């Protein structure tokens, strides 16, 4: 083998090695860019997506439900959403009153009944009701007692 063919062979081996080394890095970088961000979801009934049938069952508009909620707790709505909780369609409102307190108010989306109107005990007023529920569930799971049973 002469010097010229040795140089060509070494160049090809080097080029091939470089390509092989860079392809996995590029593939991993591409996967990170294209993959959707994972959204945390609970596996319970609280976070069900609303179906077309659910939306057709709703009798109140969000404006009507908001009026009922503000009639119950006078203040400014800072968060609102239509949700399905335990099989029931409801509007959930976070309302800040004149004293700066935040209230959780839930209105039945079919009947217009006030399901809940209680002061929010959370310090983070900007958090949505679903995020608060997840936080409360995690907190409850952390503080849950382990019950030991005696085998018989």
Domain ranges (residues) in the chain: 1-33, 47-137
* 24-62 residue pLDDT tens: 654 555 444 444 333 333 333 444 578 999 999 999 999
Topology classification of domain 47-137? Nuclear Transport Factor 2; Chain: A, (3.10.450)
- The pTM for the full model equals 0.51
Over the chain, what is the mean pLDDT?
74
The band of 19, judged by pLDDT with boundaries at 50, 70 and 90, is confident
The Cα–Cα gap between 9 and 32 comes to: 36
Task: Please say whether the beta carbons of 138 and 89 come within 8 A.
Answer: no
The Cα–Cα gap between 92 and 77 comes to: 10
The Cα–Cα gap between 33 and 40 comes to: 19
């Amino acid at each position: 083998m002469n010097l010229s063919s040795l140089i060509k062979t070494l160049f090809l081996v080097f080029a091939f090695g470089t390509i092989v080394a860079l392809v996995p890095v590029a593939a991993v970088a591409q996967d990170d860019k294209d993959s959707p961000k994972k959204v945390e979801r609970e596996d319970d009934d609280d976070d069900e997506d609303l179906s077309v049938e659910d939306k057709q069952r709703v009798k109140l508009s969000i404006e009507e439900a908001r009026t009922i909620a503000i009639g119950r707790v006078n203040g400014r709505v800072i968060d609102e959403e239509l949700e399905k909780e335990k099989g029931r369609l409801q509007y959930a409102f976070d309302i800040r009153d004149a004293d700066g307190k935040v209230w959780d108010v839930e209105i039945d989306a079919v009947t217009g009944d006030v399901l809940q109107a209680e002061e929010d005990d959370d310090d983070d007023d900007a958090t949505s009701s679903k995020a608060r529920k997840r936080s409360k569930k995690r907190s409850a799971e952390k503080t849950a007692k382990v019950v030991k049973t005696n085998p018989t």
